[in-house]
Amino acid sequence: MDDRLATAVSHWAPRFTTNGVTAGDFDRIVSGISSWYQWCSAGEHLSQAAVYFHFAKFLFVSDMDQMRAAHQHCGPLPD
């Protein structure tokens, strides 16, 4: 791990994990990169996770209360 990446990880790990990224996921993603210039590869994981969440909340119509709660987690629904 280059110095710039090591500095970013040491400073940002608590912010990521405090905001819902599991420590295991953070460690797994960071362990797959060795330089600061590879940091954007984490964006690929974010994009993939967003797609999973979208389909999970969008297609969960058998329990409308749970679906509404998932949508509310993303922000208010339009009227």
pLDDT in tens, 50-79: 788 777 766 666 777 877 777 677 665 555
Q: What's the CA gap between 12 and 42, in Å, rounded?
A: 13
Q: What's the CA gap between 24 and 61, in Å, rounded?
A: 31
pLDDT in the model for residue 9: 93
What type of residue sits at position 45?
H
* Secondary structure letter of residue 1 according to DSSP: -
Domain range list for the chain:
1-39, 50-79
Within the chain, strands assigned E span: none
**Which tokens is 27 given?**
């460690």
pLDDT in the model for residue 76: 58
Give the tens place of pLDDT for each residue, 2-15.
Answer: 999 999 999 999 99
